[in-house]
Amino acid sequence: MKQALLSSFLAVALAGPALAQVPVHANADHAQLLASADPRLAANKRLVYDFWREVFEGGHMERVDRYLAESYIQHNPSVPTGRAGFVAVFSQIAMPKPIEDRVKAPLVAITAEGDLVILSFVREQPDPKDPAKKYTTTWFDMFRIENGKIAEHWDPATKR
């Protein structure tokens, strides 16, 4: 039975691409995204959310000490590891601006489990087959929280 199911799946998968993508949509209810029955998970979500608003989107590098551990580990290949490395890169590309009440980027979900928080965003890309058209996909940023600060970050970025 398992063999028959696997064979059927492979036959469908190899028959050709099914190009029926469902567009990714943002969730407008950020309060619901931040909610959790577990107070520690809610606090971790809020920490990452506020870091994103104040530092990443707001460009307020003077606030980075509130959010990033000094020994912050960075897995994005374009940003150095360490809090100082983060500040060095983002100070050059993010000018301080008024801090919004909500994350401006199109959030799909905020997921928290243990010491990890994942922000999922809508990402719009040009269609490689027709650059005049666009499609949506999802971008993820994952953070590890340690002692009330962001200690580590992952995303799917590649070298530029």
Q: Is residue 3 part of a domain?
A: no
Q: For 69-87, b where at least 16 C-beta lie within 10 A, e where not — what string? A: beebebebeebeebbeebb
Amino acid found at 128: P
pLDDT value at position 133?
92
What's the confidence (pLDDT) of residue 17?
Answer: 54
Residue 6 included in any domain? no
The answer to whether residue 14 is domain-embedded is no
In the chain, helix, strand, coil percent, each to 5? Answer: 35, 30, 35
Domain membership of residue 85 (yes or no) is yes
pLDDT tens-place string over residues 50-60? 999 999 999 99
Q: Could you read off the pLDDT of 8-38 as tens digits, one per residue? A: 444 444 444 555 589 999 999 999 999 999 9
Q: Is 108 exposed, middle or buried, given 0-12, 13-18 or 19+ CB atoms closer than 10 A?
A: buried
- Which domain covers residue 144, as residue numbers? 20-154
User: Residue 119's pLDDT is what?
Assistant: 98
Q: Please indicate, yes or no, if residue 9 is contained in any of the structural domains.
A: no
Low-confidence ranges of the chain (pLDDT < 70): 1-20
Total domain count, the chain:
1
Q: Within its chain, how far is the Cα of 19 from the centroid?
A: 25
Q: Is position 131 within any domain?
A: yes
Please list, in sequence order, all residues whose beta carbon lies within 8 angstroms of the beta carbon of residue 149, skipping any fewer than 6 positions away: 47, 66, 67, 68, 69
The CATH number covering residue 32 comes to: 3.10.450.50
Residue 4 included in any domain: no
The whole-number pLDDT of residue 160 equals: 76
DSSP state of 7: H
- State residue 5's pLDDT score: 46
Residue 139 lies in a domain: yes
- pLDDT of 83: 97
